[in-house]
């Protein structure tokens, strides 16, 4: 907890100096602000969270018909956001650079990032929006919104007892959310700001065409596997993935997917080096665009991985999945809890969450337990391989039949 507070404080100090310099520079050399009827929506910076928000995001354009809907999102989400056709305009940012590290537990105080934030602020200040809507509950996003111009700024009430009041300052209107389930929070935020009281959360879906990845043959049976996620400590150990996938009872090729981060590439290389199973392994980690990554998962028989984007892509693609679920935000992303009544088909594509229950679930990545010898959270490292093997064989059996 002390580390989290220190990181927040350091970021706030850096933001203070950069943002105030940008304010002074803008007043001296720009001044002109373009008035608009645009509504700016802050899109979540992570792929999985953005996909979870799709069910709500698609409603804004039809609800606010007299306004242009503008999405502000991480640059790696632009192609996906364009495909949805939910937005009139998309503004891309490099979230790691503009936030000086893209989470409260990461700091990247490079000169390049300082300059990037300064220049991007000057660009964003030129428009006066009708509304700015922020359905996320991230302090560094609130500190960005503080610098933007709008007639109305609507955000999520921050409950932090130490700095919550400060993080709430940028907004003219605050929405109180439960912050227990992300899908339902996105839906509730939309209900409150739109007045659409009957709107309920539902499963995310890709309601646009996704062509098959050209490097995979037609009628090819495989499972998509992601070995890593955004935080090393909450990822199941590679040796556990090896034990599980080496013991599946059916011949089905394994296609490794993931981004080009060092952690994910190293995990894939380690898996390839140590794998002794009978099934063929193909490695696409760090070798695809986001849309190609989505395509690989969409046309797989099932997906398997940690609580990360692969699971939410599988749901949106109507593909069954097995999720290694840590306790840090248990029930916030997975397991899924939907307000709408689901059909049997929809129930069949809900992720199969495999977890090791502990009394500290819901820690929010501020783990108060000693890490295991593998440098993992206990709730993840103690997930039994036998449970995963059983789930894998069951899901393959269902697909085979």
pLDDT at 220: 82
2-194 and 222-400 agree in CATH topology: yes
Quote the mean pLDDT of the chain.
Answer: 92
pLDDT at 342: 93
Report the pLDDT averaged over residues 237-253. Answer: 91
pLDDT digit string (tens) for 146-163? 999 999 999 999 987 777
280 burial class (0-12, 13-18, 19+ CB within 10 angstroms)?
exposed
What band does 2 get if pLDDT is binned at 50, 70 and 90?
Answer: low
Among 116-125, 161-170, 280-289, the range scoring the smallest mean pLDDT is 161-170
- Rounded CA separation 286/258 (Å): 6
**CB-facing half-sphere around the CA of 145: CA atoms within 13 A:** 33
H or E stretch at 321: strand 321-324
pLDDT at 363: 79
pLDDT at 400: 64
H or E stretch at 254: strand 253-256
pTM for this prediction: 0.94
- Rounded CA separation 150/232 (Å): 38
Max alpha carbon distance in the chain (Å)?
A: 69
Give 318 or 106, the one with higher predicted confidence.
318
- Domain 222-400 coded CATH 3.40.50.2000: yes
pLDDT digit string (tens) for 107-128? 899 999 999 999 999 999 999 9
Using a pLDDT cut of 70, give the percent of the chain over it. Answer: 97
pLDDT digit string (tens) for 181-209? 999 999 999 999 999 999 999 999 999 99
- Rounded CA separation 230/327 (Å): 15
Please provide the DSSP assignment of 140-190 as one string.
Answer: HHHHHHTTSEEEEEEEEPP--TTTHHHHHTT-SEEE----S-HHHHHHHHH
- Rounded CA separation 395/334 (Å): 18
What band does 104 get if pLDDT is binned at 50, 70 and 90?
Answer: low
- Would you give the DSSP letter of residue 233? G
What band does 401 get if pLDDT is binned at 50, 70 and 90?
Answer: low
- Domain 2-194 coded CATH 3.40.50.2000: yes
- Would you give the DSSP letter of residue 90? E
* 103, β-bridge pairs: 106
pLDDT at 364: 72
Residues 135, 153 contacting (CB under 8 angstroms): no
Is the pLDDT at 82 greater than 80? The verdict is yes
Among 41-45, 243-247, 265-269, the range scoring the smallest mean pLDDT is 41-45
pLDDT digit string (tens) for 293-352? 999 999 999 999 999 999 999 999 999 999 999 888 888 899 999 999 999 999 999 999
- Rounded CA separation 18/13 (Å): 9
pLDDT at 201: 96
Report the pLDDT averaged over residues 268-292. Answer: 96
pLDDT at 92: 97
- Rounded CA separation 205/203 (Å): 6
What are the boundaries of each domain within the chain? 2-194, 222-400
């Amino acid at each position: 907890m002390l580390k989290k507070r220190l990181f927040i404080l350091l970021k706030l100090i850096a933001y203070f100096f950069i943002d105030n310099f940008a304010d002074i520079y803008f007043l001296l050399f720009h001044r002109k602000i373009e008035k608009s009827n645009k509504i700016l929506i802050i899109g979540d910076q992570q792929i999985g969270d953005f996909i979870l928000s799709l069910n709500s995001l698609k409603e804004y354009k039809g609800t606010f018909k007299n306004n242009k809907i503008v999405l502000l999102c991480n640059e790696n989400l632009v192609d996906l956001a364009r495909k949805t056709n939910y937005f009139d305009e998309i503004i891309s940012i490099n979230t790691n650079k503009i936030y000086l590290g893209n989470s409260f537990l990461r700091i990247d105080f490079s000169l390049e990032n300082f300059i990037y934030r300064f220049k991007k602020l000057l660009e964003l200040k030129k428009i006066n929006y009708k509304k700015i809507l922020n359905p996320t509950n991230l302090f560094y996003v609130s500190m960005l919104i503080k610098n933007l111009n709008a007639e109305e700024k609507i955000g999520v009430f921050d409950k932090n007892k130490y700095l919550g009041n400060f993080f709430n300052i940028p907004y003219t209107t605050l929405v109180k959310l439960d912050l227990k389930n992300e899908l339902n929070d996105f839906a509730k935020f939309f209900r409150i700001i739109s007045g659409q009281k009957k709107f309920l959360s539902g499963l995310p879906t890709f309601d646009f065409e996704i062509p098959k990845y050209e490097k995979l043959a037609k009628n090819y049976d495989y499972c998509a596997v992601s070995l890593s996620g955004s935080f090393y400590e909450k990822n199941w150990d590679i040796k556990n993935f090896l034990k599980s996938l080496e013991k599946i009872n059916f011949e089905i090729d394994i296609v490794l997917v993931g981004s080009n981060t060092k952690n994910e590439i190293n995990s894939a290389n380690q898996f390839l080096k140590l794998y002794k199973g009978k099934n063929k392994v193909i490695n696409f980690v760090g070798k695809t665009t986001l849309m190609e990554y989505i395509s690989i998962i969409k046309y797989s028989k099932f997906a398997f991985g940690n609580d990360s984007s692969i699971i939410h892509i599988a749901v949106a693609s109507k593909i069954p999945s097995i999720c290694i679920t840590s306790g840090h935000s248990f029930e916030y992303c997975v397991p899924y809890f939907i307000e709408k009544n689901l059909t049997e088909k929809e129930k069949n594509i809900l992720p199969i969450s495999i977890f090791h229950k502990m009394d500290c679930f819901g820690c929010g990545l501020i783990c108060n337990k000693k890490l295991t010898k593998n440098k993992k959270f206990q709730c993840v490292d103690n997930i039994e391989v036998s449970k995963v093997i059983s789930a894998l064989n069951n899901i393959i059996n269902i697909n085979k039949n």
